[in-house]
Amino acid sequence: MICNVAIWDRALRFLLAILQMAYAFAGGPIWLWIFGFYFLVTAAWGLCPTYAFFKIRTQR
């Protein structure tokens, strides 16, 4: 599988996803669930479709 997200980027995405989903669970806006889930999936998968579209790679 081709990965375009580095380890530090994956860790940052995971932390951001947990924070966003916790805030959404506490009564924040509904769109935070969507972005939180997106960041969680891309952190677990290691492939970001947005990065692939713009041909960005944080992994060397």
- DSSP designation for 27: T
For the whole model, what pTM was predicted? Answer: 0.87
Residues 1-60 pLDDT 10s:
788 999 999 999 999 999 999 999 999 999 999 999 999 999 999 999 999 999 999 987
Helices within the chain (DSSP H only): 7-25, 31-45, 49-53
User: Per the structure block, which two tokens stand in for 45?
Assistant: 């998968």
